[in-house]
Structure 1
Amino acid sequence: MPAEPQPDPDEVWSLLVHAVFDSRDAWRRAVARRTGLPFSRVRVLRRLDRGRPLSLKELAHAAAMDAPATTVAVNELAAAGLVSRDVDPADKRRRLVSLTAAGRAAVAVADATPDPAPPELAAFSGDDLRTLAGLLRRLAP
């Protein structure tokens, strides 16, 4: 039997991305159900949970959204009491968006939502899982 050709890093990355993205729909629906928010809004909250408050422009970049969609999302989240908009002390023309206590609680609910491995991964042998885990740890920052 001929050896398989050497995989290209871009091909391997594509396989990894599809394996993750294609198996997370049930988790996204569970997060939306548990938080009562569309998953796109949870994604915005999670970007704000990384530390400091963000300007709308920074938040749009972090959430991979355009500026108008970010403004709509922040307006909805502010109306729900999940984020606040405050004047940037360094630049009075800018507003900074930050999580409220209720927003942090919503992120905690999302983070606590079970996200089990897909059946295909759960079926890997212990040796295969150790090998894969070791390789993936090398990708982690």
Structure 2
Amino acid sequence: MPDDTPTTDQVWRQLTHLVMDTRDGWKRAVTERTGMPFSRIRVLRRLRPGPLSAKDLARAAAMDAPATTVVVNDLEERGLVIREIDPTNRRSKLISLTDAGERVVAHALATPDPAPAELADLTPADLRTLHEILRKLEH
């Protein structure tokens, strides 16, 4: 009897497919709700924990440096982020959310995000099992 145990990479591909390939509707709704491209919201979310340098923000948002500069310039013009001199390295600047930026992120995250049909079709027992497995992965 062949071993039918999936590899961790196979399971990971399934998880990322489920999440990434079913979020387009939510991303469109966020864009409509905020009036901004989703890429701007993605950057704002990365700043929620606290200020980042442009280099760290680019890494966190999986963007190259020129694209990050364009996005930050736009967000700064909108009054959603500010650049301030890094007190630990005066040659560097830190980018942080303004109160208005925090409100935009909160508004975006309040956009309804219903579960995909594939998840909604699971039995209560399957949902409990999946929930327990995901809780183990959070820690």
Q: Matches of residues 124-135 of structure 1 in structure 2 within 5 Å?
A: 124-135=122-133
CA deviations on 1:65-112 (whole Å, 9 max, x unpaired) are: 110000000000000000000111111111110000110000001110
Q: Output the amino acid matched with 1:66.
A: D
Q: CA deviation at 1:31?
A: 0.6
Q: Give the number of aligned pairs.
A: 139
| TM-score, normalising length: structure 2 | 0.96
Residue 80 of structure 2 is aligned to residue 82 of structure 1? yes
Match of 1:16 in 2: 15
Q: Output the amino acid matched with 2:95.
A: V
Match of 1:102 in 2: 100
CA deviations on 1:15-66 (whole Å, 9 max, x unpaired) are: 110011010000000011111110000000000002x211100100111111
**TM-align CA RMSD:** 1.2
In structure 2, list runs of 5 or more residues that go unmatched.
Answer: none
**Runs of 4 or more consecutive aligned structure 1 residues displaced over 2 Å after TM superposition:** none
Residue 70 of structure 2 is aligned to residue 72 of structure 1? yes
In structure 1, list runs of 5 or more residues that go unmatched.
Answer: none
- Take 1:128 and 1:4, find their aligned partners in 2: how far apart are those partners? 23
SS at match of 2:95: strand
